[in-house]
Amino acid sequence: MGLLQPLKGDTGGQIMLAVLAVIAILVPILNLLVPEGSPLHVSTFTVTLLGKYLTYALLAVAVDLVWGYLGILSLGHGAFFALGGYAMGMYLMRQIGDRGVYGDPVLPDFMVFLDWQQLPWFWQGFDQFWYAALMILLVPGLLAFVFGWLAFRSRVTGVYLSIITQALTYALMLAFFRNEMGFGGNNGLTDFKELLGFDLQSDGTRIGLFIASVLALALGYWACRWIVTSKLGRVAVAVRDAESRVRFIGYRVDRVKLAIWTFSAALAGMAGALYVPQVGIINPGEFSPLNSIELVFWVAIGGRATLYGAVIGAVLVNYGKTVFTGAFPEAWLFVLGGLFVLVTVFLPTGIAGLLKTLKRRRAEPKTIQEASA
Amino acid sequence: MSSTSEPHPESEPVASSKQTPSSESGRGSNRDLLRSDRTFDFSGPKQVWQGFGQDFKELTRRDRQFDFMIQAKDLELDVSHGPILYLEGLNISFDGFKAIDELNLYVNAGELRCVIGPNGAGKTTMMDIITGKTRPDSGTAFFGQKIDLLKLSEPEIAEVGIGRKFQKPTVFEQHSVFENLELAMATDKRVFPTLFARLSGAQGDRIDEVIDIIGLQEHARFEAGTLSQGQKQWLEIGMLLIQDPHLLLVDEPVAGMTHQEMERTAELLTSLAGKHTVVVVEHDMDFVRSIAKRVTVLHQGSVLAEGSMDEVQDDPRVVEVYLGE
Ligand SMILES: Nc1ncnc2c1ncn2[C@@H]1O[C@H](COP(=O)(O)OP(=O)(O)OP(=O)(O)O)[C@@H](O)[C@H]1O
Ligand SMILES: [Mg+2]
């Protein structure tokens, strides 16, 4: 048993976690201790960018858990990410206090602007961090639970399920665009000042958020590994490969799906909550159906059902996106689409699959030598 | 509600009631397995987990404990009157086509029954009804005297002791032979117990034992996807066996098998009868002749003839629809 048990045999994951540990130590040093002029200096901008990639990576891990191991192609995980982000955003809004443009001690600016007299009930409690932290997991988790309960019970699967997950995120996007909803309409929530009393603009806070993202990713990864290496994980893969067979040997497939699906949504919510203070804004665009589709690409490109592949995919694709959208912004979607087609045709197991094959190729001659020796 | 029910015997959890050591060893203990006073207890002490995904209302009801006792009582397998399976007046039609038409079938406990019939006779559909995959339009299906199969879901039916091998073998291709059996094993199959499950020594031994029975020792660690068709069939039978069901429904077990493999399968199935009740659907007449004591011929969704292989073969109606072709 032990804490390392879930990582046994997971070479890719071990390397990934080791790299995470290294950058968690190196990046703060290079940012805070190395002077700005030095070529080794890592700018705060880069730190935040890396932190953002890591939250995407956590989101991708959450998607891979349900897609890779349970066979549910969710095209709506962006919604859980955004909900976690909104929960964090609400806390950050309340932290602004009377430092807003209108100086209202309680009401966020957009509410004053809309001429609201008091805080809506669902904004209550968000001035407390513990409450917000709870909501970050609870709101996406609860939505996923209700959605999954309805969908899995009535045995909606495959493409139909994917479509309704798209519909879910689309519906939420439309709802959050409305001013009356009380989430800042199309401007969303922004102009954050502090998190737990720390100035969001300061280098120290940025580093803190970066390290929190590293920890969240490592923890989320470990938890997902723990699930997929458990017997429940083996049941999940069995559900993916032959769902009705699993039912006939006595498992309640709907509940297996519901449990893992809900967990995955809460994980996505956690990723969203770490994303928001780093990018400084959350708006309904995060619910865009396209976002959810894009993140499935990350997983596909990185390699489905490996978990660490999702991390690789998310980081690489988003790095590519940063580089590309700087140079030719219009071309990005075509590049991504092209990349996706190339990967599905030539690398159906993604980058992780490629790495595995390379490793095997390298290992094979060795074992032959050993055998003949 | 009733005051006759005894307080729930928590000391006898699921696994022990289904897999008592005595029922596993030796032919002599068949009756033990089929004892009418045996209850299938799936309430257990850990009711909280059972409530996962259930109605909140049900969770919070104060008479919940009592509610479960009724359920457990209902699910007692009672074969005191002989048959273990009663199908009466079953009907089902698909878009106006009557796949099952006033079907009556009784199978005795411990029997090995073969069901034959031309393509489309409704054999697989009959198994679908027994296992809860398809609901009939009318009729009744009882397991023992007391368990109404039409009221149970597929996993519940598996839980009361009906296992099924499908016509098309479906094993979990990405899992090893060992893991396939591990998943199928009769254990607590609720979500959280499964999440925290660790394979005990006894369970590992039981899996190895079944691997021996189905003759896949050398393939135990191989992915099931790499097995031959015949080996997959055996693995499926193994997955049935390890659930320790009372009733095994086996749909076309020898499809894709070599002659030798067929003989081994025949041996395997006959050795299971007695301790278990086995219903085999098969097209291969030689195979049926080699194992069958009692044969039921299905035609157009109802029973055309029933009896020993010889009796059935001599029946002119059977010759006409089936054997004569
Ligand atoms: N879900 C369904 N929807 C529509 N028709 C069905 C369905 N299930 C079975 N049928 C029809 O019912 C009839 C009986 O099918 P069934 O599979 O039970 O036959 P069978 O006796 O098992 O035949 P075989 O020997 O070919 O396996 C067939 O004509 C089949 O097409
Ligand atoms: Mg059939």
User: Does residue A241 carry a pLDDT above 50?
Assistant: yes
pLDDT tens per residue, range A121-142: 999 999 999 999 999 999 999 9
Exposure class string for A89-112: b at 16+ Cβ within 10 A, else e: bbbbbbbbeeebeeebeebbbbbb
Alpha carbon of A151: minimum distance to chain B alpha carbons (Å): 13
Question: Could A252 and B190 be called an inter-chain contact, meaning their C-beta atoms sit closer than 8 Å?
Answer: yes
Question: Could A149 and B53 be called an inter-chain contact, meaning their C-beta atoms sit closer than 8 Å?
Answer: yes
pLDDT category at B18 given cuts 50, 70, 90 is: very low
For residues A280 and A52, the answer to whether their CB atoms sit within 8 Å is no
Residue type, B269: L
User: Does residue B324 carry a pLDDT above 70?
Assistant: no
CATH number of the domain within which A201 lies? 1.10.3470
Q: What DSSP line would sit under A103-133, residue for residue?
A: --SSS-HHHHHTT--S--GGGTTTTSHHHHH
How much distance in Å is there from the Cα of A164 to the middle of ligand 2? Answer: 34
Secondary-structure percent of chain B, ordered helix, strand, coil, rounded to 5: 40, 20, 40
Residues B259, A5: Cα–Cα separation, whole Å = 45
Check residue B274 and give its pLDDT: 85
- Which protein residue has the closest C-alpha to ligand 1 atom 12? B99
For residues B294 and B111, the answer to whether their CB atoms sit within 8 Å is yes
Residue type, A89: G
Contacts of B101 (CB under 8 A, 6+ apart): B91, B122, B300, B301, B302
Alpha helices by DSSP H, chain A: 11-32, 44-68, 77-96, 109-113, 129-153, 158-177, 203-229, 231-241, 243-248, 253-279, 289-302, 308-327, 332-346, 350-372
Give the CA dihedral B231, B232, B237, B243, nearest 10 degrees: 120
User: What Rg do the C-alpha atoms of chain A give, in angstroms?
Assistant: 22
User: Does residue A310 carry a pLDDT above 70?
Assistant: yes
Query: What's the token pair of residue A329?
Result: 């912004």
When CB atoms are compared, the residue of A237, A252, A259 closest to B175 is A237
Question: Could A227 and B195 be called an inter-chain contact, meaning their C-beta atoms sit closer than 8 Å?
Answer: yes
Query: What's the token pair of residue A312?
Result: 């690789």
- Residue range A305-322: mean pLDDT, rounded: 94
Check residue B75 and give its pLDDT: 63
Question: Could B172 and A238 be called an inter-chain contact, meaning their C-beta atoms sit closer than 8 Å?
Answer: yes
User: Does residue A62 carry a pLDDT above 90?
Assistant: yes
Check residue B145 and give its pLDDT: 84
Query: What's the token pair of residue A101?
Result: 């443009």
Of B72 and B185, the structure prediction assigns the larger pLDDT to B185
Residues A81, A265: Cα–Cα separation, whole Å = 8
Question: Could A255 and B189 be called an inter-chain contact, meaning their C-beta atoms sit closer than 8 Å?
Answer: no
pLDDT category at B19 given cuts 50, 70, 90 is: very low
- Residue range B5-23: mean pLDDT, rounded: 40
pLDDT category at B126 given cuts 50, 70, 90 is: very high
The residues facing A195 across adjacent strands are A198
Chain A neighbors of B195, CB-CB under 8 A: 227, 230-232, 259
pLDDT tens per residue, range A64-97: 999 999 999 999 999 999 999 999 999 999 999 8
Q: Residue A285: is it exposed, middle or buried by C-beta count within 10 angstroms (0-12/13-18/19+)?
A: middle
pLDDT tens per residue, range B40-73: 444 434 444 443 444 444 444 444 444 344 443 3
Give the CA dihedral A192, A144, A306, B185, nearest 10 degrees: 150
Residues B283, B298: Cα–Cα separation, whole Å = 12
Question: Could A241 and B191 be called an inter-chain contact, meaning their C-beta atoms sit closer than 8 Å?
Answer: no
pLDDT category at A102 given cuts 50, 70, 90 is: confident
Check residue B79 and give its pLDDT: 67
Tell which atom from ligand 1 comes closest to the C-alpha of B117.
21
| Cα angle A130, A134, A140; round to 5 | 150
Task: Reduce the secondary structure of B76-118 to three states and give it as a string.
Answer: CCCCCCCEEEEEEEEEEEECCEEEEEEEEEEEECCCEEEEECC
Most A CBs within 10 Å: which of B167, B172, B180, B243, as the mutation test of the A interface? Answer: B172
The count of structural domains within chain A is 1
- Residue range A40-50: mean pLDDT, rounded: 91
Check residue B285 and give its pLDDT: 82
Residue with tokens 């996993």: B155
Give the Å distances, CA to CA, from B196 to A30, A76, B17, B182, B192.
42, 29, 22, 14, 6
- Residue range A192-199: mean pLDDT, rounded: 89
Three-state DSSP at B268 gives helix
Check residue B317 and give its pLDDT: 86
- Residue range A210-238: mean pLDDT, rounded: 96
- Residue range A156-185: mean pLDDT, rounded: 93
Q: Quick check: CB of B52 below 6 Å from ligand 1?
A: no
Q: Quick check: CB of B168 below 6 Å from ligand 1?
A: no
Of B53 and A292, the structure prediction assigns the larger pLDDT to A292
- Residue range A264-270: mean pLDDT, rounded: 97
Instruction: Average the pLDDT over each of A228-237, B38-47, B313-322 and give the range with the smallest value.
Output: B38-47
Percent of chain B at pLDDT above 70? 74
pLDDT category at B260 given cuts 50, 70, 90 is: confident
Return phi, psi of residue B53, to 5°. 80, -5
When CB atoms are compared, the residue of A231, A252, A259 closest to B155 is A252
B128 lies within 8 A of chain A by CB: no
From A150, which residue of chain B is nearest by alpha-carbon distance?
Answer: B53
| Cα angle A156, A158, A161; round to 5 | 50
Residues A328, A177: Cα–Cα separation, whole Å = 29
Alpha carbon of A279: minimum distance to chain B alpha carbons (Å): 36
pLDDT tens per residue, range B193-213: 999 989 999 999 999 999 998
Q: Quick check: CB of B167 below 6 Å from ligand 1?
A: yes
Q: Quick check: CB of B123 below 6 Å from ligand 1?
A: yes
Q: Which candidate, A52, A31, A53, A50, places its Cα nearest to that of A40? A: A31
Q: Quick check: CB of B125 below 6 Å from ligand 1?
A: yes
Mean pLDDT of chain B, nearest integer: 78
Instruction: Average the pLDDT over each of A106-115, A357-366, B309-318 and give the range with the smallest value.
Output: A357-366
Contacts of B60 (CB under 8 A, 6+ apart): none
Residues B234, B154: Cα–Cα separation, whole Å = 22
Chain B neighbors of A9, CB-CB under 8 A: none
- Residue range A217-223: mean pLDDT, rounded: 97
Bridge pairing between strands B162-165 and B247-251: parallel
Contacts of A349 (CB under 8 A, 6+ apart): A303, A304, A356
Question: Could B170 and A259 be called an inter-chain contact, meaning their C-beta atoms sit closer than 8 Å?
Answer: no
Number of residues assigned to chain B: 325
Chain A neighbors of B15, CB-CB under 8 A: none
- Residue range A187-207: mean pLDDT, rounded: 90
Instruction: Average the pLDDT over each of A23-27, A304-308, B269-273 and give the range with the smallest value.
Output: B269-273
Q: Quick check: CB of B117 below 6 Å from ligand 1?
A: yes
User: Does residue B23 carry a pLDDT above 70?
Assistant: no
User: Does residue A20 carry a pLDDT above 90?
Assistant: yes
Most B CBs within 10 Å: which of A245, A253, A257, A263, as the mutation test of the B interface? Answer: A245
Sign of CA dihedral B133, B138, B144, B146: positive
Distance of CA B133 to the CA centre of its chain: 13
Residue with tokens 């017997």: A231
Residues A151, A313: Cα–Cα separation, whole Å = 29
Alpha carbon of B160: minimum distance to chain A alpha carbons (Å): 10
Q: Residue B108: is it exposed, middle or buried by C-beta count within 10 angstroms (0-12/13-18/19+)?
A: middle
Range of the domain at A287: 2-372
Most A CBs within 10 Å: which of B164, B195, B199, as the mutation test of the A interface? Answer: B195
Interface of A with B (CB under 8 A): 149, 227, 230-232, 234-235, 237-238, 241-242, 244-256, 258-259
The residues facing B148 across adjacent strands are B142
How much distance in Å is there from the Cα of B126 to the middle of ligand 2? Answer: 9
Q: Quick check: CB of B119 below 6 Å from ligand 1?
A: yes
